[in-house]
Amino acid sequence: MPTAIGHMIGGRAVDSPTTFESRSSCDRSDLVGVFAAATKEQVREACVVAREAFADWSATPAPVRGEVLGKVGDALEREKESLSRLVTREMGKTLKEARGSVQEAIDTCRFFQSEGRRLYGQTVPSEMPNKELTTYRRPLGVVGMITASNFPIAVPSWKIVPALVTGNTIVWKPSQDAAAIAYAFAKLFEEAGVPPGVLNVVFGNGRDTGAHLIDMMNEGRLNKFAFTGSTAVGRVIGEVAGRNLLHPTLELGGKNPLVVLRDADLENAVQGAVFSAFATGGQRCTSAGNVIVDEPVYDAFVERFLAQVAALRIGNPVTFEDVYYGPFINERFFDSWQEHYGWGETDGATLAYGQGRITSDSAPSGWAGGDPAAAFYGWPTVWTGVEPGMRLFQEEVFGPTINLVKVDGVDAAIEAANAVEYGLSSAVYTMNRDWAYRFKTRIEAGMTSINNTTVGAEAHLPFGGVKSSGNGTRESGIWVLEAYTYWQAVNDDVSGRLQLAQMETQYVTPGDEVDVAELF
């Protein structure tokens, strides 16, 4: 058994009495690493260390903090291929997608490196003489973070990088399914010169270590919490944060609609729908859940879509770099996904394609080869005859499954798209600019694509949802700065005497009333 990797607390490796294994999602016999599982006392210690480091880090000039993050970007760029292959090995993302995920973190470092020189405040004119009013962004303090396994570098970078450039310190619990990736990622921050105690990492599962970190809000040890994961857990975090008057960042689930209207370029729409549904095996919060198709093109779309799905190449992305998607990240995701077949049967939907778990006796024509029993692989699954009232339509499945829904016209499509509790991402395929305008102004979603997929993000664009997909906070771009800073208003009076605004303001005395009609 390899030596367990300890938590990263104050620049030290800290062991725990219990450990856990991280095994490859692609081959459960492949042991990636053994990691310490943090106790509540160790999580508390990490918070104390982060609090102690905050004084010096927050006093470090913001441009200098930005330069440190630039060096993180340099290290990520140098190690991009190694990190990408580790992502593929540990959590099963295809190598193409893994490289894109690492590039997203590089882009994030580059963007916020420059933001270290642009943490602007404002100068505001006073209504009193000899007085200046100014505003400043100030860091919040210690930030607790929990991130998911499906984007184990990109999503943590969305939180860690802006939190650091604004002067906060961090206690981060990464997913237990991506512990090795998190360790490698955090070590690059050390290399770049992030001081000890500024970024602390505690390993473990969500039920124990994650719960301990959430409870640190009740102990008053955190000033901010940032979470990516399920809506159910997000509600718990939101409740705890609310009781402690914290405003958390919550990036939660989605049941994202992709609409194909009657004038759409069908080939483009099919390609976009396939990627939206099956990239990362559907294990994205932005994955399409319902493809809503206008009646005049429904049959043609379904025929082309099913042909594309049947041709998908599926398998171990470590062995076969050309597969479209790989395995489930873990067994519990697979078990949860399996349940949706019962939903569809109960709802009365039609199973157009898919047979559950891929096995040696039940594999699609696109199976790349190898032993499917070495991991948890799912057939690409397509349902037709799905309607908004069905559970299949409403609930997030988080796996390689898509519903095809028939509607008549743009208004019916928008109504169906909005008929879920989630509001994260959305997409519409149309060449009609009026229809595109109506969709983007009426859709209840934080993100919308026109003639593109429901998935994907860029480092300088806000990411986040509405309704049950989040609490209004945003990640990425300049908008995320609001999540990790507060505004300080400074009233600097140099008059040398007491001046009372509103009560002593010397407004100009008006002149005599003018009757314009009498002027000419």
Q: Are 420 and 407 in a shared domain?
A: yes
Q: Are 274 and 203 in a shared domain?
A: no
> Domains in the chain: how many in total?
2
> Does the active-site annotation cover 109?
no
Domain interval for residue 306? 256-458
Q: Note whether residue 465 is domain-resident.
A: no
Q: Are 307 and 445 in a shared domain?
A: yes
Q: Which two tokens stand for residue 19?
A: 């450990």
The structure tokens 């860029």 sit at 458
Q: Are 330 and 432 in a shared domain?
A: yes
Question: What is this structure's pTM?
Answer: 0.96
Per-residue pLDDT, averaged over 36-43, amounts to 98
Per-residue pLDDT, averaged over 439-446, amounts to 98
Q: Are 160 and 135 in a shared domain?
A: yes
Q: Note whether residue 264 is domain-resident.
A: yes
> Does the active-site annotation cover 285?
yes
Cα 333 → chain centroid: 18
Q: Note whether residue 515 is domain-resident.
A: no
Q: Note whether residue 33 is domain-resident.
A: no
pLDDT of residue 507: 86
Q: Note whether residue 48 is domain-resident.
A: yes
Residue tagged active-site, from 45, 251, 444, 475:
251
Q: What is the crossing angle of helices 62-78 and 179-192, to 10°?
A: 130
Q: Are 242 and 325 in a shared domain?
A: no
Q: Is residue 1 pLDDT above 90, yes or no?
A: no
Q: Which two tokens stand for residue 512?
A: 């005599």
pLDDT of residue 514: 92
The structure tokens 């004084």 sit at 55
What distance in Å separates the CA atoms of residue 290 and residue 404, rounded to the nearest whole number?
A: 6
Q: Note whether residue 94 is domain-resident.
A: yes
CATH number, domain with residue 123? 3.40.605.10
The structure tokens 């009372």 sit at 500
Q: Is residue 508 pLDDT above 90, yes or no?
A: no
Q: Are 424 and 282 in a shared domain?
A: yes
Per-residue pLDDT, averaged over 379-383, amounts to 98
pLDDT digits (tens, 9 = 90+) for 274-306: 999 999 999 999 999 999 999 999 999 999 999
Looking at every residue in the chain, the average pLDDT score rounds to 97
pLDDT digits (tens, 9 = 90+) for 452-500: 999 988 999 999 999 999 999 999 999 999 999 999 999 999 999 999 9
Q: Are 328 and 438 in a shared domain?
A: yes
Q: Are 239 and 260 in a shared domain?
A: no
What distance in Å separates the CA atoms of residue 7 and residue 13, rounded to the nearest whole number?
A: 5
Distances (CA, A) of 516 to 68, 251, 449, 509, 519: 65, 59, 54, 20, 5
Q: Note whether residue 87 is domain-resident.
A: yes
pLDDT of residue 104: 97
Q: Note whether residue 379 is domain-resident.
A: yes
Cα 317 → chain centroid: 23
Q: Are 222 and 352 in a shared domain?
A: no
pLDDT digits (tens, 9 = 90+) for 58-91: 999 999 999 999 999 999 999 999 999 999 999 9
Per-residue pLDDT, averaged over 110-120, amounts to 97
pLDDT of residue 93: 97
Q: Are 345 and 385 in a shared domain?
A: yes
Q: Are 92 and 180 in a shared domain?
A: yes
DSSP secondary structure code for residue 210 in this structure: I
Residue tagged active-site, from 285, 396, 444, 475:
285
What sign does the dihedral 192-193-195-196 (CA atoms) show?
Answer: positive
CATH number, domain with residue 390? 3.40.309.10
